[in-house]
Structure 1
Amino acid sequence: MNPASAHSNSIRAAFSHCVQQVRSYDYHHYFCLLHLPPNMRRAAFALRAFNVETARAMDVASDPKIGLMRLLWWKDVIDKIYANKKVEHPTAQALSSVISDHKISKHWLKRSVDARINDASREENAIPESIADLEQYAEDTTSTMLYMTLQAGGILSTTADHAASHIGKASGLLLLLKSLPYHLNRQGRISYIPADVAARHGLLITGHGRSEIKMESGEALSDVIFEIASVASVHLQKARELARAVPAEALPVLLPAVPAQVLLDTLRRRNFNVFDSRISNGVHGISPLWYQLKLKWHAWRNTY
């Protein structure tokens, strides 16, 4: 086999790996990406696979220090890719190909991984001060994926970027809420309920120079979840208010608004009780078939 053919096979295998990673660990976005035109789809799968790698770094590590080392390794990988150095990792190979083909901004990739590194480096039992802190984290880790996908499609639109920002914030906030039981079971602590919101509902406990969130399933916790979810709902509303001014070619990129709305609706049906196991059934609490039909409906109507 000649070198050019071997390289082509290697890149093909790398993108196949990315598709499988997204399908396995980011199922709701997997279906969104299938509605993208081919010129954006490959790039989006590579970017989402990178997001899967960094999002799961702390979860798959037996020791938080190992997870943090993994995130720092990915930060180094980004530098190597932009320095035209080869990295023997399928997601890195696909990402390198996408960056070369579409001139993806290094700023967004670094911003994404830096946000995860800062989150992983927080002291144990550290609590965000406000919802604004969660919004910034969602912007840095989730909105950036949409920005880069728009960039891959050559779409230069301030309106599309604004809509992507709102959708990313909404999606990020809602996914943090959905993950609260997981983080509680895994770490024995809650990192993603802001102190000011918890204090308003009597769930912030302070003493001995430290603060913690009282995590008890009940009306107070549901009120906290409702307050944060309401901020996400406003972001979705603002994104949709921009829809008429968004270029037609950008609309498929913004389909992640649909799974965000599905999760918001599921939380509402479950009275904002994040410990209700039905929230994790299927795709965000609804059957995969019904979810795919919702996506197809929006894609067909060019809405999000």
Structure 2
Amino acid sequence: MNGASTSSSLRAAFSHCVQQVRSYDYHHYLCLLQLPPDMRKAAFALRAFNVETARAMDVASDPRIGLMRLLWWQEAIDKIFSNKVIEHPTAQALSAVISEHKISKSWLKRSVAARINDARREVNDIPETIGELERYAEDTVSTILYMTLQAGGISSTAADHAASHIGKASGLLLLLRSLPYHASRNRQSYIPAEVAANHELLVNQGGQPEIRMGEGLSEAVFEMASVASVHLQKARELARTVPTEALPVLLPAVPAQVLLDSLRRTQFDVFDPRLARGVLGISPLWFQLKLKWYAWRGKF
């Protein structure tokens, strides 16, 4: 492939990444638009990779196909780091970002491994504790923020710690928001056994533990959302020690807070139709204004 066609194919690959994030992760798409231009391309490639792996199980009619897709990504990462060409737009963009910014392979591998382990869970294989879900959020969401910081050449322990808390909060809240979707598809529950037991949602069905979406569901959601809220608080306590150039990368704290506020408004009823309106329960315009205000103030 000559230089001109390589660069045009790469442009198409990055354009594909932007479209993927815009279509399937709109609140983060709006966050990425606030990044400085030199960081934006890498951030879109990393988020598009996250979209691909997060949606693998949802777009497959058969869970085995979804799992195969995730295993394909696991191999693709190895190929990218061995400088092999992969005919897939997101993989192409990711490959360019990895070689330009020396992104850590371990974070990409951790992210896919967490998705694969989750995909292999049986319907009645319920997470035991909130800690398990926090680790899952760290591996799938915080890692994207770590790599975005890395792509921006930002090396800061405070920024990494803030990213860890924001990723955990964001991951937990998005799992709560997806409860109705997973229930409609008879998929595994993301309410840990310890929380379900606290609110009498855990039943024994033929010797197998099962979670019933019953009366205590909103209290269970409140308990999990409270853990997310503490993570957001801890991230903000670090704000003064975070370098200025890292602040735009940490803007995903804003959609996490918006979702938390929307859950509060609906008394933590994840089935309330208001949660599905606009962007995370508020109008797109109001969401964009909120985001711009935080970005302008250098806050998250």
Offset of residue 72 of structure 1: 0.1
Amino acid at match of 1:262: V
Offset of residue 33 of structure 1: 0.3
What SS does the aligned partner of 2:83 have?
coil
- Indicate the RMSD between aligned Cα atoms, in angstroms: 0.8
Q: Deviation string for 1:132-188 (max 9, x for gaps)?
A: 0000000000000000000000100000000000000000000000000000101x2
The answer to whether the Cα contact below 8 Å between 2:123 and 2:188 also exists between their aligned partners in 1 is no
Alignment correspondent of 1:52: 51
Q: Which runs of 5+ in 2 are unaligned?
A: none
Q: Deviation string for 1:267-295 (max 9, x for gaps)?
A: 00000000011101000000000000000
Q: Which runs of 5+ in 1 are unaligned?
A: none
Offset of residue 123 of structure 1: 1.8
Alignment correspondent of 2:274: 278
What SS does the aligned partner of 1:193 have?
coil
Alignment correspondent of 1:27: 26
Offset of residue 190 of structure 1: 4.1
Offset of residue 207 of structure 1: 4.5
Distance, in Å, in 2 between the alignment partners of 1:225 and 1:106 is 34
Alignment correspondent of 1:295: 291
Mapped pair 1:227 → 2:223: yes
Q: Deviation string for 1:54-97 (max 9, x for gaps)?
A: 00000000000000000000000000000000000000000000
Alignment correspondent of 2:100: 101
What SS does the aligned partner of 1:191 have?
coil
Alignment correspondent of 2:90: 91
Alignment correspondent of 2:11: 12
Distance, in Å, in 2 between the alignment partners of 1:114 and 1:151 is 20
Of 171, 193, 196, 1:195 maps to 193
Offset of residue 230 of structure 1: 0.2
Alignment correspondent of 2:143: 144
Offset of residue 189 of structure 1: 4.3
The answer to whether the Cα contact below 8 Å between 2:169 and 2:231 also exists between their aligned partners in 1 is yes
The ranges of structure 1 where at least 4 consecutive aligned residues each deviate by more than 4 angstroms after the TM superposition are: none
Alignment correspondent of 1:250: 246
Amino acid at match of 1:285: G
Offset of residue 124 of structure 1: 2.5
What SS does the aligned partner of 1:84 have?
coil
Distance, in Å, in 1 between the alignment partners of 2:33 and 2:206 is 52
Alignment correspondent of 1:212: 210
Mapped pair 1:172 → 2:168: no
TM-score (norm. length: structure 2)? 0.99
Offset of residue 206 of structure 1: 1.8
Distance, in Å, in 2 between the alignment partners of 1:190 and 1:119 is 9
Amino acid at match of 1:44: A
What SS does the aligned partner of 1:206 have?
strand
Offset of residue 208 of structure 1: 3.0
Amino acid at match of 2:83: N
Alignment correspondent of 1:182: 181
TM-score (norm. length: structure 1)? 0.97
Amino acid at match of 2:190: Y
Alignment correspondent of 1:238: 234
Mapped pair 1:125 → 2:124: yes
Amino acid at match of 1:297: W
